[in-house]
Structure 1
Amino acid sequence: MTAAMPASAQEADEELKDRTEIVVTAQRREERLQDVPIAISAVTAEDFEQRGARRLQDLQFSIPGLNIVETSPGSERLQIRGISQQAGLPTVATYIDEMNMNPNAVTGGVDIRSVDLERVEVLKGPQPTLYGEGSMGGTIRYITANPDLDDLAVRGSAEIGTIKNGNTAYRVEGAASVPIAPGTFAVRVAGAYEYTGGYIDTPRGDDQNGTRYKTARIKALFKPSETFNLSAMFMHHEWDQKDASYGFADGTYNVAGIFAQPAKGQYDVANLVGTIDLGFADFTSSTGYLSSKSRLDVSFPFAFPLPGGVLLPLSSSSRSAGEFERWTQEFRLTSSGTGPFKWLLGATYTDDKSKSGFSVLPVTTPIVLAPGQTSKAWAVYGEGSYTLGVATLTLGGRYYSDKRSDAARTTTNTFNTFNPRVNLSVETGDNGLIYLNASKGFRSGGFNTPGLFAPGEGTYAPEKLWTYEAGFKQQFLDRTLSLEGAVFYHDYNDIQSILLPTDNSPRIGRTINSGVARGWGQELAIVVRPDRAFTATFTVGHNDLTYRSTSLAVRPGDRLDNVPTWTWSAAVDYRKPVNDKVTLFANASLASTSGFTSTLRLFGDQTLNGVFVPGLSIVQRDGTRFPTVVRALSREIVNARIGADFGAITAYVYGQNLTNNFDSVYAGGVIQASQGARPRPRTFGAGLSFNF
């Protein structure tokens, strides 16, 4: 927050420059964002506060290439630069500090709220060397705020809002940093409670889909000397939704015979990170633990055609539950000094275990969880760069081995890969660079559920991706104008796709390797800061990745699931000091995405290689066949916020989704074919925050 007017024009100029000097650790060492020769976006704590964002999803269209869809509370489908599928493991790696949060399951990324964060770094394109498996589309790093070793700090906020045709939403958050031994040891605690408010009416009552989120975190920092520091972080997060956000355009979901669809879960994550300055290099050890539990009810309406044109209304109603546990250890050496040669070496080991259970609704007895898949993975990696004049060449690679077992099929398979990266960057003055980058991404294979696959489809193979990229970063006019852009090309092979079960049931079934996709993409971001009062941002992203192969799942020209062709955003932030104690502020943003699709071709009859393959025999309740391509429409979202900063206290009012766009946000497939996953309607509210 800005508490006072700068004493001179020079101080104002320095403040403006400081706002452009974001420091990131995307390449495992501290660097100015402007100097990192890859496509990366950084969202600071100030950005979250100014836009009233509670999660990265609220800001996604301001980050070219990023698209996040919440399939249910606690689970998000993340895609960066179009690398996204309904099947298989996540294609985007998600980290909290040094801990990899990707679940070892066919699911989306975990839910992470913006509670006391320092920043979020979004790395675009494969990150094979430093982040490894799962980082095909990119990597998202949530950096939590560190304790202050010297000063006591307390901050908090409270917010309340009213939803159009819904009920009240509210949120409280607080954090405190306490130096136990000033200069040496400090502890920071943070927590938040949020109720998102409901807006979908069902036969069970109105506004049934509100979700409650609880987050608590403690982080300790011990720094006995300038050459050694140790941090320990523990975080607990849980969610509980009464009913799903699926509904029709009028905000209701009144299909007969459908059970409630609650979702609940939690995760605990711990991360112990120690760093020792050895003189020639910094040695880092990261030990992590992750434990998660979740439960989800799904009720899917359909009909079965009988002779004489009679439709028998039915539903597939089930409860699934799961548990996941991970232990991970990483060691890393990062060179010190300012010489022309920089290097990094590391090794990781990860041990994952999962359990799962399934039951048909209504559930009368607790679900007994059975052992599922395990993964014991290790990797060694290295990267080196050499600077000659204004040019820097970087070479790196990671060897990765993933031994996977499936208890249900008593099957074990090991997936090995070597993933290289080559990068050439050239400085264009003090505030710019251009770069060329080629990198390979990888995603492990897996096992299909027994009884749902055809012969030879018990195991599906890993995916492989090569991405070639050219980009630039440049600042002009004494850093008041910033430009960043990139052009990239994907060569994506052995893509994992969902097929329906061979028994012709309405369940989502097996995974196959459906073929190849290729295509170009472009990104551009422009930031204008003519003075300390005004900032304008414009971003645009384009993706033309399409399938080039033919299979039961896809045809040439099909787009990948949930990938918009275009996204763009525009935002303005204005701060006007009234005197040395009060600053007025206002910001507004417009974000837009083109429509996107999800393909399930086996809902329709088709012929492949001269062989007729009948589609699923079930139909929708109105007698029409389920679509083979489910579409989500284009959306425009307008948000605004206005308030006053009194130094230690800030008060504001806000409006979200001001155009009240209620179109479906998820083209997920069979469940979403007859209704949509609906976003929160227009919301007005007010908030108060303090910082001492």
Structure 2
Amino acid sequence: MMEGARMTLGEEKASWMRAVKLAARAGVCAAAICAGMDGAYAQSADQTGDQADDRGDEEADAFVLETIMVTATRRVQRLQDIPLSVTAFDEATLERLGVNTFEDFAQRTPSLLFSNDGGPSNQTLSIRGVGVLSGGQAGAGSASTVAVYFDETPVIAPFSRNASIQPPVFDLNRVEVIRGPSGTLFGASSMGGTIRYIQNKPDTREFAAKFLAEVNTVEGGGTGYGVNAMVNIPLIQDQLAARIVVSQREDAGFIDRLPETFFQDPDVERTEENVNSIETTSVRLALRWTPTENLTVSPTFYYQDITANSSGTADVVAGDFLQVRPGDEPQSAEDKYANLLIEYDFGFADLVSSTTYLDRHVQRTDEAGAFLSSVLSLPLPVLVANTNEDNQNFVDSPNEVFVQEIRLQSNDEAPLQWLAGAFYFNQDGGEQQSLPAESLGVFLKGLGAIPAAAPDFLFDEDTRTNEERFALFGELSYTFWDQLELSVGLRWTDVRRETFSQTDGFLFGADLTDISENFKDEITPRFYAAWTPDDDHLIYASASRGFRVGREQTPITDGPCVPSLIELGIDPNSSGRVDGDSLWNYELGSKSSLFGNRLTANVAAYYIDWQNIQQTVNLSCGSGFVTNAGSATIKGAELELSGRPTENLEFNLALSYNDAETNSEGQFDIPGQEPGDPLPEVPKWVVSAGAQYSYDITESARGYVRGDVTWRNEVFQDFARTDLFRRPDFYLGSVRLGVEFEDFDASFFIDNIFDEYIVFSIDSTGQSTRPGRPRTFGVRVSSRF
């Protein structure tokens, strides 16, 4: 049973009675739904639940599925009642699946894909094939197409390579994955969809604590562990409470390092094992104060530090789980987050104000030997033999973000529902990047490959950006005859960005400085019609628009990359600006609860028209370059089934299909791209299935066996679909055996049970890959107090 859905004050009052009735009808304990509500709401709901118990007992004995409440529309609604394609994992499900990180639940979500370059916080995300088209370089270039929210606040960085906060999946009320553009409510970065982490809120009524620990070992790798603890303390009964959550985790490494002398002696001994271990520390302090019945004040403070000892990439020339490096490639991401949530009930409507400050600092070091070898057409052994260990690329990305959102929304059950709000976002950040390669410069000058007067270092860049966004948004819906709901939503966004960039080095040929200022406003509407012939069925149709802001990049007006631009028909003098892209998503879906809520079946089909796509191109000079490159069409479908045919057996099935291809000539002559070509990194089929069987051991102990498997067909990271950038299909399976008591759970698990070699990304040279974790064995225990 999921822990109580602890929602905002406005959400609670608007929907608590309906939630209780629906929960009782579905056979779910009303007290569980109301566990997070305060004061009179909880008391009244308990009374209503008692009255509903007799009506719900017969259906409760039918072993129905749990009811999950979500706020994907900014209101509390049953998952089966919202006209959106949403996957929601409540706390009980996350624990049952043994989820620790984002990757664990992403594998089980239809149409949600990710790739990264082997380090923390460098992931690129896509939903329904709408993502960063990397052209063989994961994580480079444009802003994310998927918004990531921490409760009320977006926490995605402005550029995808910096990714977003990824909190430990512990003490979360639920995770919601909203597929399709949700720009009306969630802003510019949500043209593909939105991921929301909803934290458990402090409970002002009673003390609570829980503990979760895990120890695991990776086959052929090291040993990892995780320790998580939560304590909830009522400070003033029914008025003030504090919730403290602490997590410490080490993900074991499984990549071994060979010295660069490997190129002269392939039989050389490896110098270090399991170099890619990752340590994560996080602390969250949340307070909840209800000085009056109508007012709730909830400050939250969060700190997280992720440190990787070295990159998790493997070099093709060395073999599986092996890399050739002169030393470590340390990477880190430090996040400081503070939020103040204020909610006030006016009676006719609820006011919600969310104020957030986010300080995010990402640093990393990359070995650039393979990249330089590819760029200069030098055999890697020759390059290594004629340079010292200064071919490491240093990147420092500090970002500070301030976000303010305020909204007023109706809170009754009238046919007319409305919401209006304003949003402000201010981000100061940038990226300093340095690739010295001074010994390489001396070597190239000796060959006469670069002028003797050229700088000795390869590349140095300093980019600083200030971005402001202001948005007004609203939504109206009206329900006719208690069955047909029509809705229209609109968001107007104004974006202003100032960028300063300075580059130098022999790759660019000169010291370049660029200062630019850009202004853009966009309108993102959403329309839907939803028909509910009865409480168990919903049919909906929607049309929604999403957009992604453009960006400035370092202009290329001098140096060896200029001919590469001219080859593509790009004017070097206009190479510093990338326009925004946009899409329309047309969707038809249905949601059904069948056989007395023993089975739910959710289906969605969609058509996406994506225009002016921001796309990364790998220039022949070796530099990555982002440009606008034509349009694409994505046609797809999703199916989610959840069932409980008997008291002891539960199962789930998720399936997604995407046919994504270019539908016109590219704006530029991008190598390998032709009309009708499949979009890179979009698998046609993804299937995920799981089942759990539970059985009584004693009167107080219950055992369970669970199995899950995901299959994903092959993808390519380039339009030409060359083997160099091919990521094979794979099966990812896990099994879990456990026993649970009233407040204690212990389990043994095996992840990646087939020991598949999974490739999550390939670098721009095709010489390095980011493999997934090999077979992993572990033990996990949890307890509540």
Query: TM > 0.5 between the two?
Result: yes
Distance 1:135 1:41, change over 3 A: same
Q: 1:136 and 1:146 mapped to 2: Cα distance?
A: 29
Alignment partner of 1:358 is 2:358: no
Query: Deviations along 1:94-134, whole A, 9 cap, x unmatched?
Result: 00000110111242343332121110011110012111200
Alignment partner of 1:630 is 2:630: no
For structure 1, the residue ranges without an aligned partner over 5 or more in a row are 602-625
| 1:465 aligned residue | 583
Where 1:375 maps in the other structure, the secondary structure is strand
- Tell me the CA shift for residue 305 of structure 1: 10
**Runs of at least 4 residues off by over 6 Å:** 6-10, 15-18, 304-311, 362-365
| Aligned 8 A contact 2:335 2:358 in 1 | yes
Q: 1:161 and 1:628 mapped to 2: Cα distance?
A: 34
Q: How does 1:54-73 map to 2 (within 5 A)?
A: 54-71=100-117, 72-73=119-120
| 1:623 aligned residue | none
Distance 1:417 1:684, change over 3 A: same
- Tell me the CA shift for residue 529 of structure 1: 1.0
Give 1:75's match in structure 2, choosing from 114, 122, 130. 122
| 2:17 aligned residue | none
Give 1:217's match in structure 2, choosing from 278, 284, 288. 284
Q: How does 1:104-503 map to 2 (within 5 A)?
A: 104-107=158-161, 108-203=163-258, 204-248=271-315, 250-255=319-324, 258-300=326-368, 301=370, 303=373, 312-313=382-383, 317-360=392-435, 370=462, 372-389=464-481, 390-408=483-501, 409-451=514-556, 454-501=572-619
- Tell me the CA shift for residue 14 of structure 1: 2.9
- Tell me the CA shift for residue 63 of structure 1: 1.6
Where 2:290 maps in the other structure, the secondary structure is strand
Query: Deviations along 1:334-376, whole A, 9 cap, x unmatched?
Result: 11211110000000011101032112268999x9995611101
Where 2:545 maps in the other structure, the secondary structure is strand
Where 1:34 maps in the other structure, the secondary structure is helix
- Tell me the CA shift for residue 396 of structure 1: 0.8
- Tell me the CA shift for residue 253 of structure 1: 2.8
Letter in 1 for 2:176: E
Query: Deviations along 1:193-238, whole A, 9 cap, x unmatched?
Result: 1111011110340111111111111111111233111111111111
- Tell me the CA shift for residue 251 of structure 1: 3.5
- Tell me the CA shift for residue 449 of structure 1: 1.1
Q: 1:136 and 1:578 mapped to 2: Cα distance?
A: 49
Q: 1:12 and 1:267 mapped to 2: Cα distance?
A: 49
Alignment partner of 1:659 is 2:754: yes
| 1:101 aligned residue | 155
- Tell me the CA shift for residue 260 of structure 1: 2.8
Distance 1:600 1:266, change over 3 A: farther
> Which deviates further from its counterpart, 14-23 or 307-316?
307-316
TM-score (norm 2): 0.80
- Tell me the CA shift for residue 483 of structure 1: 0.3
Where 1:580 maps in the other structure, the secondary structure is coil
Where 2:106 maps in the other structure, the secondary structure is helix
Q: 1:133 and 1:307 mapped to 2: Cα distance?
A: 40
- Tell me the CA shift for residue 439 of structure 1: 0.2
Where 1:515 maps in the other structure, the secondary structure is coil
- Tell me the CA shift for residue 689 of structure 1: 1.1
Where 2:423 maps in the other structure, the secondary structure is strand
| Aligned 8 A contact 2:86 2:178 in 1 | yes
Distance 1:230 1:19, change over 3 A: farther
Where 1:560 maps in the other structure, the secondary structure is coil
Letter in 2 for 1:350: F
- Tell me the CA shift for residue 599 of structure 1: 1.9
Q: 1:252 and 1:538 mapped to 2: Cα distance?
A: 32
Letter in 2 for 1:375: E
Letter in 2 for 1:246: T
| 2:742 aligned residue | 647
| 1:611 aligned residue | none
- Larger-Rg structure: 2
Give 1:594's match in structure 2, choosing from 682, 700, 713. 713
Where 2:677 maps in the other structure, the secondary structure is coil
| Aligned 8 A contact 1:317 1:360 in 2 | yes
Percent sequence identity is 26
| Aligned 8 A contact 1:282 1:333 in 2 | yes
| Aligned 8 A contact 2:427 2:467 in 1 | yes
Q: 1:13 and 1:223 mapped to 2: Cα distance?
A: 37
TM-score (norm 1): 0.90
Aligned alpha-carbon RMSD (Å): 2.8
| Aligned 8 A contact 1:559 1:597 in 2 | no
- Tell me the CA shift for residue 310 of structure 1: 11
Q: 2:494 and 2:2 mapped to 1: Cα distance?
A: 49
| Aligned 8 A contact 2:63 2:646 in 1 | no
Distance 1:253 1:238, change over 3 A: same
Query: Deviations along 1:607-658, whole A, 9 cap, x unmatched?
Result: xxxxxxxxxxxxxxxxxxx959611111110101111112222111110000
Q: 1:103 and 1:78 mapped to 2: Cα distance?
A: 12
Q: 1:28 and 1:628 mapped to 2: Cα distance?
A: 45
Query: Deviations along 1:55-88, whole A, 9 cap, x unmatched?
Result: 2321223221111223321222111111011331
Query: Deviations along 1:370-391, whole A, 9 cap, x unmatched?
Result: 5611101100011000100211
Where 1:405 maps in the other structure, the secondary structure is strand
Alignment partner of 1:88 is 2:142: yes
Q: 1:476 and 1:363 mapped to 2: Cα distance?
A: 68
Where 1:48 maps in the other structure, the secondary structure is helix
> Which deviates further from its counterpart, 307-316 or 554-563?
307-316
Distance 1:208 1:175, change over 3 A: same
Q: 2:323 and 2:154 mapped to 1: Cα distance?
A: 40
Is the strand fraction higher in 1 or 2? 1
- Tell me the CA shift for residue 297 of structure 1: 1.2
Distance 1:15 1:354, change over 3 A: farther
Where 2:555 maps in the other structure, the secondary structure is coil
Where 2:612 maps in the other structure, the secondary structure is strand
Instruction: Kindly tell me the number of residue pairs found equivalent between the two proteins.
Output: 659
